[in-house]
Amino acid sequence: MSFHSDLIILGGGCAGLSLGMNLSKFGEHTPKTTILEGRTHYTNDRTWCFWGGFGSDSEEFVTHRWESFSITTSKARVTRHCKETPYLMVSSQDFYQTAQRLISESPRIDLKRGNLITGEIFKRKGLWHVSTPLGEYSAPWIVDTRPGSSPLVHSSPASNPMLWQSFLGEEITTEGDLFDPGCVELMDFSGSLPETILFLYVLPFSKREALVEATVFGPRPLSAEELAEPLKSLTKNRLQGLHALSGRSEHGILPMGTMRNTGQMKQPAEDLGNDPSYVHAGLMAGGARPSSGYAFQRIWKWSQACAMALATGKPPRPHPHDHPLTRAMDALFLRVLSSNQELAPDLFLSLFAKVKPARVARFMNDQGTLSDCAAIMASLPPTPFLLELATAAGLPLGKRKSHVP
C-alpha cells in the first residue's frame, strides 16, 4: 500500500513528538503529517532536565523541580541556591503520554508505531519515498530525528565529537533517610575511570528515593555494560552503608561537540546534494548543547520554529547554529576537558562556586549575555585554556603539563 502526506517525521522520540505536538497547534494549517516510529509502545526510558525560569511553555511537562544543587570533589562541596532558575525534570513517561494525546486529537497528524523503515530512502520527482513493512510512504518534506541516521553517526573521524557523554542511571529506594529532596547532586566526583571524567549525578525525589546516574565524559560512547561497574561503585559509596532496592534503569549517549546538518542522503534518481527538503534533527543533529549535553529545551525551541515554518508552507528547519561566541567557548572548554581530564573536578567546582547560578542557567539555556560569558571565563583558571589556545594555533610549547593554579 502507498500513503502520501505533506511531511514525514522519521522517529517518534523527544524531537519527533515535540515537532508533532507543535504542529498540532496550527489546526487546519497543520500540514498532513505522518510520524513513523519503530517502537510498538512507549516506556519510561528517559529523564530530561533543564534550567527553568525563562517562561518556556515546555515547563508544562515538568514533574520535579529543585531550588538548590551541589558540586562535590575530593577537596570541597559547594551548594548553590537557584530559586530564580530552578533545576527542572521531565519524565519521559509523562511526556510520551501527553504527546500521544495531543497528536491523536489532530486529524492532520498520524503517529504510526511499530513501523520500522526498510530499504533505502530516496527522492524521485520531488517526493521522498520511505518503505516500511506496512507500505510505502511519500512526502515532499522529511524531518529525520532518528539518532542512528544522523550525519554524526556516519561522519569521518576528523569530524567526530571531541567528547561523548555516556550515562547509566537507576532509580533506588533506600532503607533509611539519605537524600535532600530539595537539592540536586549535580556532579559528585567521588570515583575515577581511566582516561575519562566520571561523576555521580543524583536526582532526589524524596529522602529515600532518587535517580542515581554514573556519567562519563570520554573519547567514545560507553555501553550500559561498560557503565554497570562504575554505577555500582559510585552508588555503594553514596549509600553510606544503607541497603537500597533498585527500580527502573536508563542508559544513553550524547555527543559533546558541534555537529551540522552535513550528511548526504543517497538519491539515485536525482543528485540534489544537501537537499533542504530533508532535514536531520534531534539529539545527534544539533539538539544537544555541546558543552553540557542538555537537549530538551533546545529540541523544544527548535520544534516550535520548525512547526511554524512548515505551517506557513516553508521547508523544515534544522537546528540553528549557536552564537559564534558560545560555539567558541564550548569548543575551547571541551578541548581543555579532553586534554586534561584530571582538571575537570576543579574546573567545574570553580565555575559553579564563583558564578551566580542565574548566569550559568542563562548560558546553559542559550540565553547568556556578554557579561554572563565574561563571568564564566573569569571563574576558570586561565593557564590550561591559554595552553590549549596556543596548541590550536600551532605554537611550539614543548611538553605540556596541566595544572590549576
Residue range 274-289, pLDDT digits in tens? 789 999 999 888 898 8
Q: What pLDDT score was predicted for residue 81?
A: 97
Q: What is the mean pLDDT of residues 320-334?
A: 90
What is the residue-wise DSSP string for 86-107?
-EEEEEHHHHHHHHHHHHHT-T
Span 344-397, pLDDT tens digits: 999 999 999 999 999 999 999 889 999 999 999 999 999 999 998 888 777 766
pLDDT at 272 over 70: no
Q: How many CB atoms lie within 10 A of CB 138?
A: 19
Q: What is the mean pLDDT of residues 8-24?
A: 97
Q: What pLDDT score was predicted for residue 156?
A: 43
pLDDT at 267 over 50: no
Q: What pLDDT score was predicted for residue 259?
A: 42
Residue appearing with cell numbers 557579561: 371
Class of domain 2-62+90-155+258-311: alpha beta
Q: What pLDDT score was predicted for residue 238?
A: 96
pLDDT at 270 over 50: no
DSSP secondary structure code for residue 14 in this structure: H
Q: What is the mean pLDDT of residues 87-114?
A: 96
Sign of CA dihedral 194, 330, 57, 144: negative
**Which residues fall within 8 angstroms of residue 214, CB to CB, at 6 or more apart?**
167, 168, 169, 191, 198, 200, 201, 227, 230, 231, 234, 235
What angle do the packed helices 382-392 and 324-339 form, to 10 degrees?
100
CA distances from 211 to 169, 206, 249, 293 (A): 6, 10, 9, 18
First-last CA distance in the chain: 67
Q: What pLDDT score was predicted for residue 161?
A: 64
Question: Which helix (H) or strand (E) segment is 128 a member of?
Answer: strand 127-132
**Sequence ranges of the domains in the chain:** 2-62+90-155+258-311, 163-256, 324-392
Q: What pLDDT score was predicted for residue 258?
A: 52
Q: What pLDDT score was predicted for residue 150?
A: 54
SS3 for 282?
Answer: coil
More confident residue, 182 or 283: 182
Q: Is 378 exposed, middle or buried (0-12, 13-18, 19+ CB in 10 A)?
A: exposed
Span 141-171, pLDDT tens digits: 999 999 876 554 444 444 466 899 999 999 9
Ramachandran angles phi, psi of 193, nearest 5°: -145, 125
Nearest to 200, CA basis, from 228, 235, 172, 224 = 235
Residue 186 pLDDT level (bands cut at 50, 70, 90):
very high
Task: Write down the pTM of the prediction.
Answer: 0.89
- Provide the mean pLDDT of the chain: 89
**Which residues fall within 8 angstroms of residue 32, CB to CB, at 6 or more apart?**
5, 6, 7, 108, 109
Q: Is 102 exposed, middle or buried (0-12, 13-18, 19+ CB in 10 A)?
A: middle
Q: What pLDDT score was predicted for residue 292?
A: 84
Residue 40 pLDDT level (bands cut at 50, 70, 90):
very high
pLDDT at 269 over 50: no
Contact 30, 23 (CB under 8 A): yes
pLDDT at 85 over 70: yes
Residue 266 pLDDT level (bands cut at 50, 70, 90):
very low
Distance of CA 10 to the CA centre of its chain: 18
Residue 257 pLDDT level (bands cut at 50, 70, 90):
confident
Q: What pLDDT score was predicted for residue 394?
A: 77
Q: What pLDDT score was predicted for residue 149?
A: 63
pLDDT at 401 over 60: no
Burial of 238-260, coded b for 16+ CB within 10 Å and e otherwise, reads bbeeeebeeeeebbbbbbbbbbb
Q: Which residues pair with 364 in a beta bridge?
A: none
Q: What pLDDT score was predicted for residue 147?
A: 86
Contact 45, 169 (CB under 8 A): no
For the sheet with 278-280, list strands across it: 109-112, 33-36, 7-10, 141-144, 278-280
Sign of CA dihedral 343, 348, 351, 354: negative
Contact 150, 282 (CB under 8 A): yes
More confident residue, 1 or 143: 143
pLDDT at 310 over 60: yes
Q: What pLDDT score was predicted for residue 274?
A: 76
The fraction of the chain above a pLDDT of 90, given in percent, is 75
Sign of CA dihedral 28, 31, 35, 36: positive
Structure-block grid coordinates of residue 101? 494525546
Structure-block grid coordinates of residue 80? 548553590
Q: What pLDDT score was predicted for residue 263?
A: 35
Q: What pLDDT score was predicted for residue 162?
A: 81
Amino acid at 318: P
Structure-block grid coordinates of residue 187? 556532579
Ramachandran angles phi, psi of 241, nearest 5°: 90, -10
